Structure 1
Amino acid sequence: MYAANTTPRQLFLDACDGRPTSRPPLWIMRQAGRYLPEYRELKEKRGFLGIVKTPELAAEAAMQPIRRFGFDCAIAFSDILTIPEALGFPYRFKDGGGIEMERTVKNESDAEISSPRERARENLGYVAENIKILRAQLPDRAVFGFCGAPFTLAAYMVEGGGSKTFPKFSEFVKNSPKAFGTLMEALCEAAEEYALMQSECGIDAFQIFDSNALLIPDGGYWELSGKWNARILGALKGRAKTFLFTPLGAGRFPETAAAGADAYSVYTGNDLAAIRRANPGDYALQGNLDPLLLSRASPAEVAERAREIIASQKPFGRHIFNLGHGILPDAKIENVEALCSAVSEGE
């Protein structure tokens, strides 16, 4: 899947930096997951958290899609809620689906979390070991680390779990600004330390997932989330390529870009070329094939859409091919194979 004399890792780094490449590097969000039969078998034996907290198993889960598809990048197998758990807010998976926090933040006293940096480093060592194993097994591939954005993590910690609208959290942000700021500071410090720890283990890139950013009204992203993300990304400058994922639309790209990442992962349905034209600058874009195509379309349709996205970015360069959000559990293996073939056609 890569050009002669170029490793997948170098292809990725070249694309991030704007050097010429024969094709965009390829990986997909949630590439280690339930659509893979080998992952389902592993999860059935050990459970999701059992995999996450066992470095050898987590590295194995991250390796599975590399073996099957030859992606250019691997991403550490973990979960965004590891940070809250490290800070004393454990969670569990409900029988009917979704997650439930065993403790929630209700007031400023709950938000006052002591020694967040130390607790992140002490309690998340299993992720560091996972990344070390993955790095050693994949010297020629780019390796991603990641964390959840403080805003997104805070939403779960206040709400007590997932929600479409997060009403408790929205009320908390509006009516308890001091407590919100206290919580965000603790989460940001923990995330900074977590990111630095991952960089020490040899990651090439680090992505912040701000999945709950749509809760923020137009114009409010910097104050409520962006400035905290900027701190985490800034701590990694010169250590790893920095990526930011939000579901915000193309019209809000300037809000997202204020965080100062090296690259932005663009949500499904947004026109990459239009973002480039409206927002000239020194950054890479990642994305943004609709994951539904991998579940519902034919291999030919997947390949055609992939070629369209690649063609739209050729005039600009600095493109990392990915999905617009995580791959779905019912994605078809043959469609992922068609995607890989289409992306590799440029060589």
Structure 2
Amino acid sequence: MGQQTKTSATHESAFLKACRREPVPHTPVWFMRQAGRSLPEYLRVREGIPMLDSCMMPELVAEITMQPVRRHGVDAAIYFSDIVVPLKAIGIDLDIKPGVGPVIADPIRTRADLARLRDLTPEDVRYVTEAIGLLTAELGSTPLIGFAGAPFTLASYLVEGGPSRNHEHTKALMYGDPQLWADLLDRLAEITGAFLKVQIEAGASAVQLFDSWVGALAPADYRRSVLPASAKVFDAVAPYGVPRIHFGVGTGELLGLMGEAGADVVGVDWRVPLDEAARRVGPGKALQGNLDPAVLFAPTEAVEAKTQEVLDAAAGLEGHVFNLGHGVMPTMDPDALTRLVEYVHTSTER
């Protein structure tokens, strides 16, 4: 397939058409964390390789990203990475500890600390460009979704020094020194925007901004202290014309604001039915979601019944991309995910 033909076929894929709120042959499906520990082939190729190292090995990244596409027949691939990769790339001393998550050696809590957040350049992440080159060659017409963590979630890791239940240091900074907080998020927005641009220029057909921890905030705090930075990220990639997806867990009260930040597609977790989510988000946006991941541990009949509930709630939407309401869990049966893809495709065939 020639490059131009491939690009055209990708543009007309069910996933990208749904993101653009155009008619689709079937509801497209992909899963957050579809490339990961639920797949035995993933465990084999990752054995003995630390997470951050694996994110910097182009051939390994390409292989891991492709695995769920080959196995499940999903409608999109998502670039295999971790949200702290751009921070590591600019020299932040961090590690991903198994069973814990990202751990920052020296948290950022003062104005002097901001100087450590330098600009990210394409040379910092050459392995990303190389991996996406390998991927787009193998994916054919299947779109690739670029991936980044949103400024608030990156700030939380940097300020807390790692994952946090209550985000107390983060909120203390946000409330106690609003100007430093705004400057921190602005820097992170520049870094994140640059990271997504690298992925799009290498061949990503859409991008998803993950704000994993932003559900910890009230809407007024989100609007004042987070939305401007998220909007800056989306504005940075707007000229490329690729769909921009925004997702966070526990963000039912923030859905409208997340759309306002500039998302073309708003990801919804399992707590809010999609028809209600559409009311909160308003017109002009597609929605993504939102089967409860834990349903996949139930018998097939129960999975299909709950899946149908999601599809029924999505029936009146302008555009719908089927996904889980959060990531694939490591102990899930991969065959259950394959069956889920088949069920959604078959039952929504138009």
State how far apart, in whole Å, the 1-side matches of 2:116 and 2:257 are.
29
Give 1:70's match in structure 2, choosing from 62, 68, 73. 73
Matches of 2:152 and 2:71 in 1, distance apart? 35
1:106-121 alignment runs, 5 A limit: 106-113=109-116, 115-116=118-119, 119-121=120-122
Q: Does structure 1 retain, via aligned residues, the 8 Å contact 2:36–2:42?
A: yes
1:205 aligns with 2:210: no
Deviations 1:100-130 (A, max 9, x none): 11221121100234641xx342312212211
Q: In the alignment, does 2:180 pair up with 1:179? A: yes
Which residue in 2 is equivalent to 1:324? 325
Shift in alpha-carbon separation, 1:7–1:100, aligned structure 2, 3 A = closer
SS at structure 2 position matched to 1:207: strand
Aligned mates of 1:124, 1:182 — CA distance in 2: 24
Conserved? CA contact 1:15–1:319, under 8 Å = yes
- Kindly provide the CA deviation profile for residues 300-333 of structure 1, in whole angstroms up to 9, marking residues without a partner as x: 2112211221122122240000011111111112
> How far apart, CA to CA, are the structure 1 residues paired with 2:171 and 2:20?
38
Deviation string 1:262-321 (CA, Å, 9 cap, x unpaired) is 100101211111122344311100000111112x21122112211221122122240000
- What is the alpha-carbon distance in structure 2 between the residues aligned to residue 18 and residue 277 of structure 1? 16
- Distance, in Å, in 2 between the alignment partners of 1:114 and 1:64 is 34
1:94–1:46 distance in 2 versus 1, CA, 3 Å? closer
* Contact 2:275/2:316, CA 8 A, preserved across alignment: no
Whole-Å separation in 1 of the counterparts to 2:298 and 2:197: 40
CA distance in 2, matches of 1:84, 1:188: 12
Any idea what SS the aligned residue of 2:92 has? coil
Match of 1:250 in 2: 252
Which residues in structure 2 correspond to 1:291-302 (within 5 Å)?
Answer: 291-294=293-296, 296-302=297-303
CA drift of 1:343 comes to 0.7
Do structure 1's residue 23 and structure 2's residue 32 form an aligned pair? no
Say whether the 8 Å CA contact 1:94–1:100 is kept in structure 2.
Answer: yes
Q: Which one of the candidate residues 63, 84, 109 is aligned to 1:81?
A: 84
Instruction: Tell me what 2:288 maps to.
Output: 286
Q: Distance in 2 between matches of 1:242 and 1:100?
A: 28
Match of residue 102, structure 2, among 99, 102, 112: 99
1:5-39 CA distances to partner (integer Å, 9 max, x unpaired)? Answer: x8796111221222212321110000000010010
After superposition, the CA RMSD in angstroms is 1.8
Gapped regions of structure 1 (runs ≥ 5): 1-5
- CA shift at 1:50, angstroms? 2.5
Alpha-carbon contact 2:79-2:144 (below 8 Å) kept: yes
Q: Residues 96 and 332 of structure 1: is their aligned pair in 2 closer, same or farther, counting only changes over 3 Å?
A: closer
87-96 vs 263-272, which moves further: 87-96
2:266 maps to which of 256, 264, 269: 264
For 1:303, the equivalent position in structure 2 comes to 304
Q: 2: distance between equivalents of 1:158 and 1:41? A: 34
Partner of 1:143: 144
Aligned match of 1:129: 130
- Work out whether 1:39 is the aligned partner of 2:42: yes
Percent identical pairs in the alignment equals 33
Separation in 2 of the partners of 1:253 and 1:277? 10
> Offset at 1:208?
0.5
Q: State how far apart, in whole Å, the 1-side matches of 2:129 and 2:106 are.
A: 25
What is the aligned length?
Answer: 339
Maintained 8 Å contact 1:112/1:186: no
Tell me the TM-score normalised to structure 2 length: 0.91
Secondary structure of 2:219's aligned partner: coil
One-letter amino acid matched to 2:216: L
1:134 CA drift (Å): 1.0
Q: Are the structure 2 counterparts of residues 211 and 95 from structure 1 closer, same or farther at C-alpha, using a change threshold of 3 Å? A: closer
- Alpha carbons 2:102, 2:157 under 8 Å: kept: no
1:206-235 CA distance string (max 9 Å, x none): 010011102322322122211111111122
Q: Distance in 2 between matches of 1:319 and 1:114?
A: 37
**1:282 and 1:344 mapped to 2: Cα distance?**
24
- Judged with a 3 Å threshold, the aligned counterparts in structure 2 of structure 1 residues 7 and 106 are, in CA distance, closer, same or farther, namely closer
Report the more deviating stretch, 138-147 or 180-189. Answer: 180-189
- Which residues of structure 2 form unaligned runs of 5+? 1-8
Structure 2 residue matching 1:326: 3-state secondary structure: coil
Secondary structure of the 1:146 match is: strand
